[in-house]
Structure 1
Amino acid sequence: MSTQGTSVSSEQRGYGRSPILGLTMAESMLLLVFCLLLAAGAIIARERSTSEHIKADKLAVEDELQKLKVSNALLAEKLEVFRKTVAGVLALTARWVGAAN
């Protein structure tokens, strides 16, 4: 009994190995899906890394801004002391000039 002309033999031939790496169509598709998953994982990891860097940079900028605010407040205090000192020197100079006349 020969199975040459039956549908079973043609089905078995349809699932044979392909010339591409000797893989079946299902194996090729699984390999393709696996590669796509690896690529998607790499993209997601890069996005997470980028967002973490952005958060770190934002915190660094906020820290520098806080330091600048403190520095500006100290400079404003020193400027006020300088203005008072100059006003005192001018008052003393005016009295000295008035006393000399």
Structure 2
Amino acid sequence: MTDSNNIDDFKKYIWLDKTNGAIDISVEIVEWLGPHEPKLEYRIVKKLPLNTSDVQLEQELKNLISDNRYFARCAECKNACLRGRMHDHFICHTCAENNHDVVH
């Protein structure tokens, strides 16, 4: 089983921007406009001072990936997922479709 706090699994969903005198941490958010119409956008969820150490930044990222408002890990395939790509609190859309005959 993969470590649920492995930052690398979630990095593709996180954007760091070091401009305007701060480190902005943004997360990719999925909103559904319709059954097959996802809307993807990055939202700033945390601002840190530019002098934040690498150790502090890593801890902030670990805290972020543990936040179930944004991320989850599928109980079946163990993949890191955005909350908006989860069928429920436990399984992702792909596993719901492939393993449980769910049609999205």
Scaled to the shorter chain, the TM-score interval is: under 0.3
Whose helix proportion is higher, 1 or 2? 1
Structure number with the higher strand fraction is 2
> Between Structure 1 and Structure 2, whose CA radius of gyration is higher?
1
TM-score (norm 2): 0.21
**TM score, norm. by length of structure 1:** 0.22
